[in-house]
Amino acid sequence: METSTTGGALPAEAITLLETLLASDTPLHHALRAQIPHLRVTGHCSCSCATIVLGLDETLAAPAPVTDNPVVAEAEVLDSDGQEIGGVLVFAHGGYLSYLETYTWLDEPITQFPFPGQLS
C-alpha cells in the first residue's frame, strides 16, 4: 500500500471503529485499546479509500503482546441491504497499532469508515 504522509488527530469515526473492533476482553485487545487515545494519523492510502496509517509516541502507551499475525482485528462491511461489500482490518506491528485498513470487492473504494452497525 502506498501512502501519502499527513498528520493529525484520529477522526471520531476511526476511534469508534477501533473501539468496536478491539472490544474483546483479551489481553491483546485490552492493551491495544489503551493506545487509542494516543494515536495520530500519520498517512493515508494513495487511493481514495479510508485506510489510515497510525502512529503514536511509544512513551505514552505500553506495547501489546506481540503476535505472529499483524492483523489483530477484522470484520466484513455490509451495504444497506446486508450484503458483504468488503471489510476492515486492524494491524499492529511491534505491539503498537499501525494501520486501520478498508478494502472492497466493488469497483469503488470504501471512502468513509463504516459504522459499527455495518460490520459482521
Looking at residue 67, its pLDDT comes to: 84
The tens digit of pLDDT for each residue in 47-67 reads: 889 999 999 999 999 999 988
Q: What are phi and psi of 4, to 5 degrees?
A: -105, 140
Average pLDDT, the chain: 93
Neighbours of 93 (CB within 10 A): 12
Q: Say how far residue 33 (Cα) sits from the centre of its chain.
A: 11
Handedness of CA 80, 120, 90, 64 (dihedral sign): positive
Residue 2 predicted with pLDDT over 80: no
Domain coordinates of the chain in residue numbers? 3-115
Quote the pTM value: 0.92
The tens digit of pLDDT for each residue in 91-106 reads: 999 999 999 999 999 9
Q: How confident is the model at residue 6 (pLDDT cuts 50, 70, 90)?
A: low
Residue 17 predicted with pLDDT over 60: yes
Looking at residue 5, its pLDDT comes to: 52
